Amino acid sequence: MLQVGIIGGAGYTAGELIRLLIHHKKVKLNFVYSTSNAGNAISSVHQDLIGEMDKKFSNTINTEVDVLFLCLGHGNSKAFLEKHEFSPTTKIIDLSNDFRLEKDKIFKGKNFVYGLPELNREAIISTNFIANPGCFATTIQLALLPLAKHSLLHYDIHVNAVTGATGAGNSLSKTTHFTWRDNNFSYYKPFTHQHLGEINQSIEQLQSSFSSTLNFMPNRGNFSRGIFATAYTTFEGTLKEAKQLYTNFYRDAAFTFMSDEVLHLKQVVNTNKCLLHLHKHEDKLLISCITDNLLKGASGQAIQNMNLMFGFGEKEGLQLKATYF
């Protein structure tokens, strides 16, 4: 049984990580570290775990664990690793954006691999350090990478994506308050979202000649979880040819699937799946892509990466049914 530690245990992604890990057959949760909740029952914060576990948040860290998940706010993972040293055999999976970009991937001798399994599977298997992708970034990359693989992104790309309230984290703010969010819809960070860097980086990894503009409009939805993204760009082939490109690209993917039916979010909420649907209109190819922002967009993908790193079945602990009804 692998010994697992979690740093930063009170947020949404940590809560989902704990929920999945306590039912994973290959691991044992060694500690969940939280400075704000040390000594409190984990189930008092993550109340969906009442009756599932009796462990408390810890104010101490076991530096000898087999795998460490960092669920800290963006910018805090580097600061934490500056202060704490772990066993040379400890594998680290960071869920922040601290190590995702090429310029940030090497830190204190640790070479972080960008943890998108559909793109970097072999590198993930052989590394000890993972930079887990962002939620919007995961969804949008999975929508576009099959085209990049064949150097077919020659024109500007337009992406409109909406995320649930959990995408903003569990700290209260004006735009997460129920009375603001309910029956409401808005955009934020138009054309400047922080995930654009990692999206462009992955596209260029497959299509080095990519020089077009990725126009990204992120939106806030009045639901709790999930991402629904639509992307369109000029595509000179047929719909049949596009479907074949995508089918071939994701043929061996454990969680990414093509659908001939129009998508809706309930198909993926509470799962580690990504579903894709293609539509052709004149010279435009429309790609729809859906994920659960807390699972495939965060904690589920982190466990998928752990499974690959330790040679487990890729779906171990992630065989989840969507909350469809």
Catalytic site residues? 135
Alpha-carbon distance of 125 to 311, in angstroms, equals 7
Residue with tokens 């990466």: 305
Of 323, 264, 252, 300, the C-alpha closest to 138 is: 300
Rg of the chain, C-alpha, whole Å:
19
Alpha-carbon distance of 13 to 205, in angstroms, equals 28
Q: Is 255 helix (H, G, I), strand (E, B) or coil?
A: coil
Cα–chain center distance at 56: 26
Q: Are the C-beta atoms of 168 and 224 separated by less than 8 Å? A: no
Bridge partner residues of 162 (DSSP): 219, 228
To the nearest 5 percent, what fractions of the chain are helix, strand and coil? Answer: 30, 25, 45
Alpha-carbon distance of 293 to 270, in angstroms, equals 9
Residue type, 139: T
Of 86, 104, 87, 88, the C-alpha closest to 96 is: 104
Q: Are the C-beta atoms of 100 and 133 separated by less than 8 Å? A: yes
Of 295, 306, 318, 300, the C-alpha closest to 2 is: 306
